[in-house]
Structure 1
Amino acid sequence: MKNIIYILAFLFSTVVFPQNEMLFEQANTLYNQGKYAEAIDKYTAILDTGNHSTELYFNLANAHYKLNNIAPSIYFYEKALQLSPNDKEIKSNMAFAKNMTIDAIDVIPETGLSKLIKNITNMMSFDAWAKTAVAFVLCFVILFLIYYFAYSTINKRLAFIGSLISLLLLCVSLGLAFRKFSIDKQNKPAIVFAQESKVKSEPNYRSEESFRLHEGTKVQVLDTVNSWKKIKLTDGKTGWVNSDDIKLLYNF
């Protein structure tokens, strides 16, 4: 049974991948010809096959930007950044797209120790911090064995100090790994797709309107109740919007 699945998967890949490459080239040609709506259809057809790449999202975002589709352009720039978070060209183009948004939302600056810890935590992914912790475990074990079997007092002392440092760094890297995992789990960004969204104080239409948001604004989703999402802005404001008004930036 497994062999049949592997064969079918192989046959599927040999058919789909060349088709995607052909669609991508066709979409790029249409884009260069200024036929942005048609190019979007081609790029979207590739996405429908489950293909994800920085270039695909970036080109799709550019096509939407050319058509002044604010929310989709920002959404797909964000998707491209998920795959290439340090790409300067993506960040530059997204800045132009964000200039078309209406909402001007302040960012509450982080200061002191919390900012330092957050910056250090975000230096690497959860997997990278976990691998770092494993490396320090190996260092601790090796240095402890050197300490145990060494005859020289100096070697014992150096190995002992080194093993303590490795143990300390192990604890730090583990702590940062779990903190990164927690941050990633709580991080649920979304883009407002409605031209104008009424943000309510409670998850129902009868509740008081807190404020309004417009397409292209990025929010954080905190909770879900039926067809409502509790959101938070960078300035600290919270409220409830209809789920249809926003689109979540799911991870891959």
Structure 2
Amino acid sequence: MKNLIYIFVFFFFGIISAQNADALFEKATAQYNDGNYDAAISSYEQILKEEKVSASLYYNLANAHYKLNHIAPSIYYYEKALQLNPNDADIKNNLEFAENMKIDAIEEVPKTGLAKMVNNLISTYNFNTWAWLSIVFSIGFVVLFLVYYFSVATLKKRIFFSISLVSLILCICSVIFAFQQYKIQQNNQAGIIFQEEVSVQNEPNARADEAFQLHEGTKVKIIEDFSGYLKIELADGTQGWIKENALKKL
């Protein structure tokens, strides 16, 4: 009986929390439409504190920062939105506009044709979507195989066997892509420079020589951390060390 009460209370407050988040989102959207971007940002951030994240929330928050010419926050939240919805054309388009405000222009090292194709395919969906697709294809395989098994006609058996085999292959591919996407997210942790100007050093200490400078809004790959410093790599392969508080991890 006590467990049922706990479940009911948890479910009740979950509904209340979701309703509050929806109300806050509508309020923030209205503030944004009225041109009150600071208030909209404050409202959107309240939703983030309740951990009610979504691609649309990050996207709207990025738009509000973009309207105020906040370079780093706008790029950061567009990137967060893309993590949840990597195929959204509006997010990609607005991210390009925000990146035009950056000072640093870094050319990405081109990938080989095959590597680029595989990377683009894996990046089509996030880890969760690939996982769900693998479940769908596995269910499809089981259903189609059962239909094949109980079919009498030879033609039907061939057709359903072939389709079930395709479903099995797609299931396996989806599982592999899900793990690859998860591995990419874990091993290729990135961050956005939030300080207006950052000194990138050759070594992780205050006495090290400056190698070059970066400016707010630049995206970097985080390789390792050491004693309050992060070793970073740029899109062109250049590496260096910066203080941990100079960026915000994605």
TM norm structure 2 = 0.80
Counterpart of 2:196 in structure 1 is: 195
Letter in 2 for 1:86: N
Counterpart of 2:74 in structure 1 is: 73
8 Å CA contact 2:138, 2:167 repeated in 1: no
Counterpart of 2:242 in structure 1 is: 241
For residues 152-188 of structure 1, the C-alpha deviation after alignment (integer angstroms, 9 at most, x for no partner) is 9xxxx99999999999888766655543342232121
Counterpart of 1:105 in structure 2 is: 106
Q: Distance in 2 between matches of 1:204 and 1:62?
A: 37
Counterpart of 2:131 in structure 1 is: 127
Letter in 2 for 1:32: N
8 Å CA contact 1:129, 1:177 repeated in 2: no
Letter in 1 for 2:32: Y
Q: Distance in 1 between matches of 2:175 and 2:25?
A: 42
SS in 1 for 2:242: strand
8 Å CA contact 2:194, 2:246 repeated in 1: yes
Letter in 2 for 1:218: K
Cα distance, 1:193 vs. partner? 0.5
Counterpart of 1:186 in structure 2 is: 187
Does 236-245 or 76-85 show the bigger shift? 76-85
Going from structure 1 to structure 2, the CA distance change for 1:231 and 1:19 (only over 3 Å counts) comes to same
8 Å CA contact 1:133, 1:174 repeated in 2: no
Q: Distance in 1 between matches of 2:119 and 2:4?
A: 47
Going from structure 1 to structure 2, the CA distance change for 1:137 and 1:192 (only over 3 Å counts) comes to same
Letter in 1 for 2:210: E
Does 178-187 or 192-201 show the bigger shift? 178-187
SS in 2 for 1:204: coil
Cα distance, 1:112 vs. partner? 3.5
- Does 2:233 correspond to 1:232? yes
For residues 220-242 of structure 1, the C-alpha deviation after alignment (integer angstroms, 9 at most, x for no partner) is 11111131111111100111111
Q: CA RMSD in A?
A: 3.3
Question: What residue ranges of structure 2 are gaps of 5+ in the alignment?
Answer: none
TM norm structure 1 = 0.79
For residues 2-26 of structure 1, the C-alpha deviation after alignment (integer angstroms, 9 at most, x for no partner) is 4343223223223222222222222
Does 1-10 or 124-133 show the bigger shift? 124-133
Q: Distance in 2 between matches of 1:33 and 1:245?
A: 33
Which structure is larger by alpha-carbon Rg, 1 or 2? 1
Q: Percent identity of the aligned residues?
A: 42
Q: Distance in 2 between matches of 1:172 and 1:138?
A: 16
Letter in 2 for 1:209: E
8 Å CA contact 2:138, 2:168 repeated in 1: no
SS in 2 for 1:198: strand
> How many residues align structurally?
246
Q: How do residues 1-252 of structure 1 correspond to structure 2 at under 5 angstroms? A: 1-124=2-125, 125=127, 126-127=130-131, 130-131=134-135, 134=138, 176-249=177-250
Q: Distance in 2 between matches of 1:114 and 1:92?
A: 24
